[in-house]
């Protein structure tokens, strides 16, 4: 999993307790906090007033905060039941991918979902968020900022809303089209040779790697000079919207390789025993099922397909590759290693 040891800004409550704002599901470049730990913010109150100022203290357990209009002013104590929404207005920039680093998390664009907050006193708030964290005190959201590639942190107290509705993310919408049963997988494999080659954009959408909005934006406005002649996939990689491994997966899916939903596909235990754990990890290939003389394995990279033929002698069967999302395949292989190796629970599995 891609990770960076970035400091989290801390909103100091008192000398004995610090509140760490929940981390968004994407890696961000975190700006330095102010020396006294306060955060610039905007508060929307329950009576419809919006006020900018500074957040001095935030106490989720006591469900109250301290807020001041300007630096040097006297902080006011506000209980959460007087607040409709709190926004920390210092944007966090989404960090660009590190070249060569493994990618486990979804692309940021695939995590965006729309939301509707149905307010307890009537009316609603609408917007988009890159993930969410639910707490006893309320809902923490990570909304796109004004500048492309940034987000801002929001908090909506639990007492301020009667319900919050979230749309499906790009991956969740795509997941509805992924293969989830052995019968459907065999049918998809048999149809692979007859299937028309998909446009790359359609393949990216079906894999849940980009949103419809981002794809339309990329196709309509290539961006800076020099990108106009760059193929769509390379342009999206260059701009950091998808990773190189995402592109190779999309190219394989474009050529007709079916995508398997490992979250619910019933892996055949007898098929899994045809390859050792070490071979699975070396080739990043998960046996799913057998079909006569064929062993069907899930991979996540187009470059893995040719070397898979070396598995024929090991498995004693013809090997048929299908696709699985990179992160979910990693989880499945880790589980296979733990199930098949008594030492695996004590020795971390590295990919």
- pLDDT tens series, the chain, 351 aa: 333 333 434 443 343 345 678 888 777 888 877 667 789 999 999 998 999 999 999 999 999 999 999 887 889 999 999 999 999 999 998 887 665 554 444 455 556 788 999 999 888 999 989 889 999 999 999 998 877 678 999 999 999 999 999 987 767 777 777 899 999 999 999 988 787 888 888 888 887 788 787 888 777 765 555 566 788 888 888 777 777 777 877 888 888 888 899 988 999 999 988 988 999 998 899 999 999 999 999 998 766 666 777 888 888 889 999 988 887 888 899 888 877 654 444 444 444
Q: At what angle do helices 326-340 and 244-254 cross, to 10 degrees?
A: 100
Under 8 Å between Cβ of 340 and 286: no
Residue 323, Cβ density class (10 Å: 0-12 exposed, 13-18 middle, ≥19 buried): buried
Q: What Rg, from alpha-carbon coordinates, does the chain have?
A: 24
pTM greater than 0.85: no
Per-residue pLDDT of 185-228, as tens digits, reads 999 999 887 878 888 888 888 877 887 878 887 777 655 555 66
Q: Give the helix/strand (H/E) hosting 156.
A: strand 150-157
**CATH class for the domain made up of 170-195+256-351:** alpha beta
Tokens of 85: 């929404």
**What are the tokens at 12?**
């100091």
Beta strands 318-323; 294-299: pairing state: parallel
pLDDT number for residue 87: 96
Rounded Cα distance between 272 and 295, Å, is 10
All structural domains of the chain with their residue ranges: 10-167, 170-195+256-351, 199-244
Longest dimension (CA), the chain: 77
Q: Strand 112-119 relative to strand 39-45: parallel, antiparallel, unpaired?
A: unpaired
Token duo for residue 242: 């998808």
**pLDDT value of position 341:** 52
The continuous run of DSSP H or E covering 264 comes out as none
The per-residue pLDDT for range 294-316, each reduced to its tens digit, is 999 999 876 666 677 788 888 88
pLDDT for 343 equals 42
Assign 163 to helix, strand or coil: strand
Could you identify the residue written with the tokens 């406005």? 221
Residue written as tokens 């975190």? 30
């Amino acid at each position: 999993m891609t990770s960076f040891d970035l400091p989290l800004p801390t909103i100091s409550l008192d000398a004995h307790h610090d509140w760490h704002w929940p981390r968004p599901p994407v890696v961000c470049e975190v700006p330095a906090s102010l020396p006294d730990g306060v955060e610039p913010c905007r508060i929307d109150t329950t009576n419809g007033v919006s006020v900018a100022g500074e957040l001095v203290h935030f106490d989720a357990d006591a469900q109250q905060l301290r807020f001041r209009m300007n630096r040097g002013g006297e902080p006011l104590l506000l209980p959460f039941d007087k607040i409709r929404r709190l926004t920390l207005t210092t944007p966090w920039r989404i960090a660009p991918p590190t070249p060569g680093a493994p990618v486990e998390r979804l692309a940021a664009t695939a995590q965006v979902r729309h939301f509707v907050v149905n307010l307890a006193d009537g009316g609603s708030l609408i917007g988009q968020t890159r993930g969410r964290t639910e707490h006893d005190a309320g809902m923490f959201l990570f909304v796109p900022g004004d500048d492309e590639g940034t987000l801002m942190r929001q908090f909506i107290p639990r007492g301020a809303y009667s319900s919050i509705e979230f749309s499906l993310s790009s991956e969740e919408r795509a997941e509805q089209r992924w293969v989830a049963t052995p019968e459907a997988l065999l049918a998809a494999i048999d149809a692979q040779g007859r299937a028309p080659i998909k446009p790359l954009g359609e393949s990216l959408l079906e894999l849940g790697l980009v949103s419809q909005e981002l794809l339309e934006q990329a196709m309509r406005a290539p961006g800076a000079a020099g990108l106009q002649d760059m193929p769509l996939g390379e342009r999206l990689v260059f701009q950091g919207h998808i990773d190189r491994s995402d592109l190779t997966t999309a190219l394989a899916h474009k050529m007709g390789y079916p995508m398997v939903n490992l979250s619910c596909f019933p892996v055949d235990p007898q098929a899994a025993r045809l390859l050792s754990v070490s071979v699975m990890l070396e080739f990043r290939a998960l046996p799913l099922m057998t079909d006569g003389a064929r062993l069907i394995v899930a991979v996540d990279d187009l470059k893995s397909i040719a070397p898979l033929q070396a598995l024929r002698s090991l498995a004693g069967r013809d090997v048929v590759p299908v696709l699985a999302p990179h992160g979910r395949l990693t989880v499945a292989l880790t589980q296979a290693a733990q199930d098949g190796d008594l030492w695996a629970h004590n020795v971390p599995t590295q990919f």
